[in-house]
Amino acid sequence: MTEVNVTDDRPSGMQGVIADWASDQRAFKGVPWGKAMMWIFLLSDTFIFSSFLVSYMTVRMSTPEAWPNASEVFALHMFGANIPLILIAIMTFILITSSGTMALAVNFGYRKNRKMTTLMLVLTAILGASFVGMQAFEWTKLIHEGVRPWGNPFGAEQFGATFFMITGFHGAHVSIGVLFLLIVARKVWRGDYEDDTERRGYFTSHKGSYNIVEETGLYWHFVDLVWVFIFAFFYLW
C-alpha cells in the first residue's frame, strides 16, 4: 500500500477559523443578502436594548428612594375599581397575537399566496398600530398624573426617565414596523414579487421571491421578543 503524505498549509488558531469561513462556499450559499443584513441589524439592536435594560436594573437597584409600585401606577379605574396592569396585559396579548399573524404571512408568502399574505400583513399592521395607540394612551395617562422624565409623584425620580426612554424606543420600533408592513403588503398585493412582474422600486430587487416577507417577519418577531423583556422588567418586577 502506498502511503500518501498530505501537507496541510492552512493557518492554525483564529486565523485558521477565519480562513475556513472565508473560503467555504457553502457557509452562506443561498442566503439572501437582505436576510443576512437583517440579522446583523437585529444583533446590533439587541446590544442597544440590552444596554437600556441593564441601565434600568442598575438605576433601580441603586436608588435609595422607593421604586413605584407597578400594580398601582399602571392600574386603570374600571367598573368602580382599580384593575392593575389590565391595559398592559391587553397590549401584550395584542403583540403576541401579531407574531402569530406574521408567521402566517411568511407561510403564505412561501406558497406565493398573494391574497392571504397581504391579509396577514395588514392584520399584523393593524394589531401593531393598536399596540402603539394603547401605549400612547398609557403615556398620556401617566403624564396627566404628573410623571415626567425628571420626576414623578409615585417615588424614585429615575422611574420616569427610564420608562419613557425604553418604552418610547420600543414604540418607535413598532411604529416603523407597522409602516414597513403596510409597504410590503401593498407590494405583495400588486404582484411586485411575481416572476412576470416588470415593476421595480424599493424592496423589489428579486423577482419571484417573497424573501422580503420573511425579513419583515424577523424584524417583527424581534420587536415582540423585546417587549416580553420590557414587560417582565417594568411591569412584573
Long-range CB contacts (within 8 A, 24+) of 16-21: none
Burial class from Cβ neighbours inside 10 Å (0-12, 13-18, 19+) for residue 158 reads buried
> Within a 13 Å sphere around the CA of 24, how many CA atoms are in the beta-carbon half?
11
> What is the reported pLDDT for 23?
53
- How many Å apart are CA 27 and CA 146, to the nearest integer? 55
Task: Note the pTM of the prediction, 2 decimals.
Answer: 0.82
> What is the reported pLDDT for 27?
55
> What is the reported pLDDT for 226?
96
Domains of the chain: 32-236 (1.20.120.80)
> What is the reported pLDDT for 157?
87
> What is the reported pLDDT for 35?
83
SS (H, E, C) 192-237: CCCCCCCCCCCCCCCCCCCHHHHHHHHHHHHHHHHHHHHHHHHHHC
> What is the reported pLDDT for 104?
96
Burial class from Cβ neighbours inside 10 Å (0-12, 13-18, 19+) for residue 100 reads middle
> What is the reported pLDDT for 150?
86
Q: Pick out the chain residues at pLDDT < 50.
A: 1-7
| DSSP string computed for 125-192 | HHHHHHHHHHHHHHHHHHHHTT-BTTB-TTS-THHHHHHHHHHHHHHHHHHHHHHHHHHHHHHHHHTT
> What is the reported pLDDT for 10?
60
The grid coordinates of residue 222 equal 424581534
* Other beta carbons less than 10 A from residue 146's beta carbon: 11
